């Protein structure tokens, strides 16, 4: 029986009516770009507060005009399509403005890590071929040191402190507030260049597209519950994965962004209370700062604040403490290569009935794909076949969709190795539960193999963070003459907490771990971190080998 019909292309090649006379036009096809969110917000919410920076307020009308001025002025200074404009700044209004103005011009924005050393900063500027750099006053000296290593000068725009150079506000005064930027020629056009944060010691430049950023922003806005009433506090560095897309996501929702120039507990509590903050994001270290803040800096607030965290699974003790303080914690998972968050932990209908420890443990899972991610699976890395959803079979997290990067700038070999199999393979080892929730067991390189047994560093870290004196824990492999490898724990203690001995911590671990998983060595002191709060385990592995 033939299933063909008048609407299908038959064996003779006759065109379907669904493919004839139904062409793309300016009326029904526009390239997706997050820049469009600002035009819509300025039209629909012109007098609504878009940005709060201390005592300063910008409405959406103001923000739109400033972004158009910046785009216009950059073009007047010779910046064109696919030229790179770098920015070295904290969470200030200029960062938000650059996320719209630069792609509005069809150029590529390169937010830079403010904790880079001058040599790495210079290498990033040279590798990305930056035509201009917007630099915030606290980082001017660092930038000037980096300029000495650049092969040729670039246009420098100084925020707050021009230092004899071109002032940011003067540049905006050159621009047209009604400038209609050309935007992208195609939604696949490059939008942002983001260098990986360096937890592996090998940063690479991930390239994002207009299409990917548009979808990522909407996926985050939907998953995190942003609305026109949302007040988003910038506790996450905007240079990290373009702030997980939230400069665009909050504008898409018509909400308000609150700038925070220094992430510290007193400023966080004060902003939440004074500005009515409803949402914030940050690495687990930010949650620990909030939980461990002294009573003197805590300010009461009546609203429930949604807090999204990622980068590592937050300890269940931190989730419990955050809830007690008035925060609702959402766990996200992703990477620079996936525009930040790719999965979100969605509580099951029966979780509220669970004992608190079990519920908080489940809340630390990596969860399910965002609605704008095509697929998030735990796969066998050799065959790419999905592993059974039994919560026990370990595989590697793979991601696929429009919110996976285009590739690494000028690095086709690394791009092919990372994306060539048709998936972005993360290097994270995980299981998938029957309800679809993904749970990381460890980074592939962080698994400790002791006497032929695989030991999860995350499992040990979870137990260590239950110790009342421990704020942060990181466990790595240490060479062992008998077992090949053994766990070595690095602990950062809470301020003012009694100092435990190595024997005290070992005894604590023995009560919660199998004997072969108990760390053989305990090291106390501050942990090395990236600017986004991720612990640099590659540094700790080197230290462990030297012990």
Q: How confident is the model at residue 3 (pLDDT cuts 50, 70, 90)?
A: very low
What CATH number should be reported for the domain holding residue 65? 3.40.50.12780
Cα–Cα distance between 250 and 100 in angstroms, integer?
Answer: 13
Per-residue pLDDT for 206 more than 50?
A: yes
pLDDT at 197: 56
Q: Is residue 41 a part of any domain in this protein?
A: yes
* Number of Cβ atoms within 10 Å of the Cβ of 212: 26
Domain final residue, candidates 212, 234, 267: 212
Q: Is residue 435 a part of any domain in this protein?
A: no
> Which pTM was predicted?
0.84
Per-residue pLDDT for 497 more than 90?
A: no
Averaged over 484-507, what is the pLDDT? 91
Tally of domains in the chain: 2
CA 152 to chain CA mean position, Å: 32
Per-residue pLDDT for 322 more than 60?
A: yes
Q: Is residue 466 a part of any domain in this protein?
A: yes
Averaged over 333-347, what is the pLDDT? 94
Question: pLDDT (tens digit, 9 = 90+) per residue, 236-263?
Answer: 999 999 999 999 999 999 999 999 999 9
pLDDT at 248: 98
Averaged over 264-275, what is the pLDDT? 97
Helices 316-325 + 284-291 axis angle, to 10: 50
Q: Is residue 174 a part of any domain in this protein?
A: yes
Find the range with the poorest average confidence among 188-197, 217-226, 442-451.
Answer: 442-451
pLDDT at 8: 57
* Number of Cβ atoms within 10 Å of the Cβ of 411: 15
pLDDT at 128: 96
The first and second tokens of residue 416, run together, are 């092919």
pLDDT at 200: 43
Cα–Cα distance between 339 and 342 in angstroms, integer?
Answer: 8
Top pLDDT among 184 and 198 is at 184
pLDDT at 283: 83
Residue owning tokens 């630099």: 135
pLDDT at 110: 98
Domain that includes residue 515, residue range:
447-546
Question: pLDDT (tens digit, 9 = 90+) per residue, 290-316?
Answer: 999 999 999 999 999 999 998 666 777
Compute CA distances 225 → 38, 374, 464, whole Å.
19, 20, 33
Q: Is residue 406 a part of any domain in this protein?
A: no
pLDDT at 357: 86
Compute the chain's Rg from CA coordinates. Answer: 25
Task: Give the helix ranges, DSSP H, for 35-76.
Answer: 35-44, 60-76
pLDDT at 454: 65
pLDDT at 166: 93
pLDDT at 88: 97
Cα–Cα distance between 88 and 117 in angstroms, integer?
Answer: 12
Looking at residue 232, the DSSP 8-state letter turns out to be: E
CA atoms within a 13 Å half-sphere pointing along the CA-CB vector of 296: 0
Cα–Cα distance between 197 and 201 in angstroms, integer?
Answer: 8
Q: Is residue 58 a part of any domain in this protein?
A: yes
Domain final residue, candidates 194, 212, 230: 212
Phi-psi region of 21 (alpha: psi -120 to 50; beta: other; left: phi over 0): left
Q: Is residue 518 a part of any domain in this protein?
A: yes
Cα–Cα distance between 534 and 536 in angstroms, integer?
Answer: 6
pLDDT at 531: 60
The first and second tokens of residue 5, run together, are 């019909």
Averaged over 193-204, what is the pLDDT? 68
Q: Are 212 and 402 in contact (CB under 8 A)?
A: yes
Q: How confident is the model at residue 452 (pLDDT cuts 50, 70, 90)?
A: low
Per the DSSP assignment, residues forming a β-bridge with 135 are: 88, 158
CA angle 102, 103, 104 (to 5 degrees): 90
Domain final residue, candidates 212, 246, 279: 212
Per the DSSP assignment, residues forming a β-bridge with 487 are: 477
Per-residue pLDDT for 416 more than 50?
A: yes
Percentage of the chain modeled with pLDDT above 90: 73
Percentage of the chain modeled with pLDDT above 70: 94
pLDDT at 451: 63
Averaged over 128-157, what is the pLDDT? 94
pLDDT at 4: 45
Per-residue pLDDT for 445 more than 60?
A: yes
What CATH number should be reported for the domain holding residue 488? 3.30.300.30
Cα–Cα distance between 155 and 78 in angstroms, integer?
Answer: 10
Per-residue pLDDT for 365 more than 80?
A: yes
Per-residue pLDDT for 50 more than 60?
A: yes
Residue owning tokens 């990290």: 240
**Strand, coil or helix: 364:** coil
Per-residue pLDDT for 354 more than 90?
A: yes
pLDDT at 51: 98
Q: Are 299 and 273 in contact (CB under 8 A)?
A: yes
Element (H, E) at 379: strand 375-379
Task: Give the helix ranges, DSSP H, for 364-484.
Answer: 412-419, 457-464
Cα–Cα distance between 512 and 462 in angstroms, integer?
Answer: 10
CA atoms within a 13 Å half-sphere pointing along the CA-CB vector of 469: 14
Top pLDDT among 10 and 361 is at 361
DSSP 253-277: HT-EEE--SS--HHHHHHHHHHHT-
Task: Give the helix ranges, DSSP H, for 326-428.
Answer: 356-363, 412-419
Q: Is residue 388 a part of any domain in this protein?
A: no
pLDDT at 311: 67
- Average pLDDT of the chain? 91
CA 493 to chain CA mean position, Å: 26
pLDDT at 484: 73
pLDDT at 11: 57
Q: Are 233 and 258 in contact (CB under 8 A)?
A: yes
Element (H, E) at 6: none
Find the range with the poorest average confidence among 327-331, 355-359, 405-409.
Answer: 355-359
Q: Are strands 484-493 and 470-480 parallel, antiparallel or unpaired?
A: antiparallel
pLDDT at 1: 39
Q: Which of 323, 363, 311 is nearest to 532 (CA)?
A: 311
């Amino acid at each position: 029986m033939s299933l063909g019909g008048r609407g299908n292309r038959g064996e003779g090649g006759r065109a379907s009516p669904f493919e004839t006379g139904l062409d793309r036009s300016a009326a029904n096809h526009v390239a997706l770009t997050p820049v469009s969110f600002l035009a819509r917000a300025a039209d629909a919410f012109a007098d609504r507060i878009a940005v709060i920076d201390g005592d300063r307020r910008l409405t959406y009308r103001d923000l739109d005009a400033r972004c158009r001025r910046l785009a216009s002025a950059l073009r007047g200074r010779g910046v064109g399509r696919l030229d790179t404009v770098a920015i070295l700044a904290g969470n200030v209004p200029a960062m938000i403005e650059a996320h719209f103005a630069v792609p509005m011009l069809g150029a590529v924005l390169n937010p830079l890590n403010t904790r880079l050393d001058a040599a790495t900063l210079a290498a990033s500027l040279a590798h990305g071929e930056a035509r201009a750099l917007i630099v915030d006053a606290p980082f001017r000296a660092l930038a000037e040191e980096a300029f000495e290593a650049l092969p040729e000068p670039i246009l420098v725009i100084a925020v707050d402190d021009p230092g004899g150079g071109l002032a940011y506000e003067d540049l905006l005064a050159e621009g047209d507030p009604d400038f209609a930027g050309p935007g992208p020629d195609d939604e696949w056009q490059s939008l942002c260049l983001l260098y990986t944060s360096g937890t592996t010691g090998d940063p690479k430049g991930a390239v994002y597209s207009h299409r990917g950023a548009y979808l990522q922003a909407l996926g985050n806005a939907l998953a995190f519950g942003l609305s026109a009433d949302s007040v988003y506090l910038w506790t996450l560095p905007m240079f990290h994965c373009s702030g997980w897309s939230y400069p665009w996501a909050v504008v898409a929702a018509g909400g308000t962004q609150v700038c925070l120039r220094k992430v510290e507990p007193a400023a966080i509590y004060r902003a939440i209370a004074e500005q009515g903050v409803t949402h914030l994001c940050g690495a687990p270290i930010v949650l620990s700062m909030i939980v461990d803040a002294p009573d003197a800096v805590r300010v009461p607030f009546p609203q429930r604040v949604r807090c999204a965290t990622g980068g590592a699974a937050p300890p269940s003790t931190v989730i419990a403490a955050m809830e007690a303080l008035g925060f609702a914690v959402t766990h996200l998972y992703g990477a620079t290569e996936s525009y930040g968050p790719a999965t979100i932990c969605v509580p099951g209908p029966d979780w509220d009935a669970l004992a608190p420890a079990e519920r908080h443990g489940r809340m630390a899972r990596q969860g399910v794909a965002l609605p704008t991610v095509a697929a998030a699976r735990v796969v066998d890395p050799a065959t790419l076949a999905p592993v059974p959803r039994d919560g026990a079979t370990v595989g590697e997290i793979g991601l696929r969709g429009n919110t996976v990067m285009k590739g690494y700038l000028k690095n086709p070999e690394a791009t092919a190795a990372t994306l060539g199999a048709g998936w972005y393979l993360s290097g994270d080892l995980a299981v998938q539960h029957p309800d679809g929730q993904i749970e990381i067991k460890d980074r592939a390189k962080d698994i400790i193999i002791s006497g032929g047994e695989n030991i999860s560093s995350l499992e040990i870290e979870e137990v260590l963070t239950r110790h009342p004196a421990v704020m942060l824990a990181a466990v790595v492999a240490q060479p062992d003459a008998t077992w090949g490898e053994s766990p070595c724990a690095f602990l950062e203690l809470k301020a003012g907490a009694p100092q435990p001995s190595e024997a005290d911590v070992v005894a604590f671990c023995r009560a919660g771990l199998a004997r072969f998983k108990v760390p053989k060595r305990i090291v106390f002191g501050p942990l090395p971190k990236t600017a986004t709060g991720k612990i640099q385990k590659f540094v700790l592995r080197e230290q462990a080998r030297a012990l």
